[in-house]
Structure formats: structure tokens, C-alpha cells
Amino acid sequence: MFQNDGNFIRTAMPVLEQFGFARFQHHPFTDVTALRQRFSMSCLNLSCGYYHWHADDEYVRLADVENSLALATELMPVLGEQRYDYDASQVEAAEPPMEVTALRFPE
């Protein structure tokens, strides 16, 4: 949802690492993708402490929710009130700045 070597993620990475975010997940169903496509801007979808999404055993860890809230609060002044454009037509040459895992569905 952003260029791997773009200003957006280079600016956000120190804060993400500070709060323990060590990997990204390829998740094809996020609403943030629609925002990126419509407005051509970089986006980030933060994990908010829920696990086993949409399954019978879905649950939330409140400590993870609090960590995500603190991360978002810290990110806002770091990223500032500027637009970080995203041109989806550009070929991505850089490697992702973190490990990327695929979303796994139960069989």
C-alpha cells in the first residue's frame, strides 16, 4: 500500500520498529487498499490486537490494542500533515522493509 523505498515507509519505519512491528502481512481484504486506489496515496493498516479474524475463535488482546493506539498516536506527528503519493503504475524495485507473510486461511 506504499512504495517499499518511499518517503512514507522510510519515515514510519523507526516508529513501527519502536512499537515492535516486525513484519507485514499480505492481506487482500483490507479496506485501506480501496483508499489507496481511489486517492493514489500511501496507506498503512495497523494491526489492532485481534486474532483469528472472522472465525468462531476470534479474540482480542487488549495490550495489543493499547500498543496499536500508542503507535498510531506516535505516527501522526512523525508523518505530519502531508500527502505521501503512491503511483501504483510504477514497478516496485525495492525489497519490502520488513518480512512479509501471506494471510493463511483455515482449511
73 pLDDT more than 90: yes
DSSP tag of 98: S
Helix (H, G, I), strand (E, B) or coil at 15: helix
CA–chain centroid gap for 64, Å, is 15
Which whole number is the average pLDDT over 78-96? Answer: 80
What residues does each domain of the chain span? 7-102
Model pLDDT, residue 62: 94
23 pLDDT more than 60: yes
pLDDT tier at 45 (50, 70, 90 boundaries)?
confident
